[in-house]
Structure 1
């Protein structure tokens, strides 16, 4: 599969059609353009953002020993989860296997359809509950803002 690019030659007022052979990956989908620098930037943004926001709260609620310990436990759980998820990126072989494009695809390939429904339900439940928490937090923040 090749991607066709249509460009306009402004000088002669005509269209130029070219194909980009490297526009698609080995499975026919558009090739990814990310690199190591963009991946590191996303990881740092996610980790530092959540860490900075939760550090003060966890220390205020749990103290100087319990707060950092709770954050360390959450960091370990996140690290283990990310390793497991990255191992499920391609199945059954992590190098040459079929690519799983979503979390649900990885669950379906590795655990079967019955557990896919359970995982999908839990994933949507988590999204729903998180959305409710964001709405409540936003409402509370706006109430204090307008006082």
Structure 2
């Protein structure tokens, strides 16, 4: 918990000082280390990738899913304009990354009524989902 508090203080200071968290001059990557966290990163490929209303529906539903109390940090995004790099996969439609304090938080999330409702009501939108979960080494 101490590491999380320290991290959140640095994030708050960096966000205030720089206006944008990832590029804060207040805290370097070496200073902000996540320990004990579980990162859950989900990539969605829509059945109709050009259908903007489907993309909006999915993103709105993901934002609603962030109400699960065990989620500590989140990011919802779309492919960045980094096509010049061959190693980057831009084929997905939407990404969803959440952080939990630990495995127990992620386990609660998986069976949470909001998560179950999300899958039930929105799975018709995607043709493929890939999940990457990671913890400290």
TM-score bracket, normalised by the shorter chain, equals under 0.3
Which structure shows the higher strand fraction? 2
Larger Rg: 1
TM-score, with length taken from structure 2: 0.21
